[in-house]
Amino acid sequence: MSITIALAGKGGVGKTSVAGLLIRYLKEKGLTPILAVDADSNANLNEVLGLEVPLTMGDAREEMKSIGAQNPNMTKDMLIEMRVNQALVEEKGFDLLVMGRPEGPGCYCAANTVLASSIESLLKNYRYIVLDNEAGMEHLSRVVAKKIDILLIISDPSRRSVETAFRIRDLARALPITVGREGLIVNQATNGGLPEATQKTIEASGIELLGVIPADEVLAEMDADGRPTAVELEADSPVVEAVFASFDKLGLS
């Protein structure tokens, strides 16, 4: 059975950066094969990993809407399977699948159904699935997986962001997805830690605080230069050390 780890949180808190580092962590621990799924319609997980994406699932869905007449020898199932394989960016230890643009109004449900079942059968091939999501909660409701083993909620140290994290946890519990464990990672902390009030709010909420990640200029600059942070950050970077220590608490194997 594969283990699904999904990332959620307010906009710009660091979901994608942490997702990239989670893939690196799993790879370094030999917990492969991994499937990285970029479920953000404004996909950029590939950038932190330093990869190009030739085709997204959204592209494949659009194409399916228009085929049929053109190629009578190929069923939609065959075509979508072919496209899913083409869209899979294969790297050492992990593959990346980019969902791309979501279905617009007038959703072509048949295409979605075929796509979903094709992705579902793909998931079985992996030991870990890392799901980077769009900001907000409603997006989690259309995630590919029906079961999230670990929901990593990312927040910045602000009160508002931490409160959003609690809301996300509560909303996730109300969705028709099974969520196993929930953990909070506070990212972009300045002054070496969390304000006492924030710490208390987190304790009172009962959410498991996995770690506090410092705001780091090296990461920020690297990202601004368009370099793949998950690949290029040094092992002794304060961000890598703190994120990896947070992941250690999950006891993944």
Is 36 within 8 Å of 97 (Cβ atoms)?
yes
116 contact choice in ligand ATP, Mg ion, none (CB below 5 to 8 Å, kind-dependent): none
Residue among 64 and 157 whose Cβ is closer to ligand ATP: 157
The contact pattern for Mg ion, residues 12-51, with x = CB under 5 A and - = no contact, is ---xx-----------------------------------
Under DSSP, the state recorded for 102 is P
Shortest gap between Cβ of 139 and ligand ATP (angstroms)? 10
Residue among 33 and 136 whose Cβ is closer to Mg ion: 136
Is 3 within 8 Å of 29 (Cβ atoms)?
no
Q: How many residues can be counted in the chain?
A: 253
Non-local CB neighbours of 234 within 8 Å, separated by 6+ positions: 240
The answer to whether 61 contacts Mg ion (rule: CB under 5 A) is no
The answer to whether 223 contacts ligand ATP (rule: CB under 6 A) is yes
Of 253, 157, 165, which is closest to residue 207 (Cα–Cα)? 165
Residues 133-192 that bind ligand ATP (CB under 6 A): 135, 187-188
CB burial of residue 174 (10 Å; 0-12, 13-18, 19+)? exposed
Binding positions for ligand ATP, rule: CB under 6 A: 9, 11-17, 40, 135, 187-188, 213, 215-216, 219-220, 223, 239
Binding positions for Mg ion, rule: CB under 5 A: 15-16
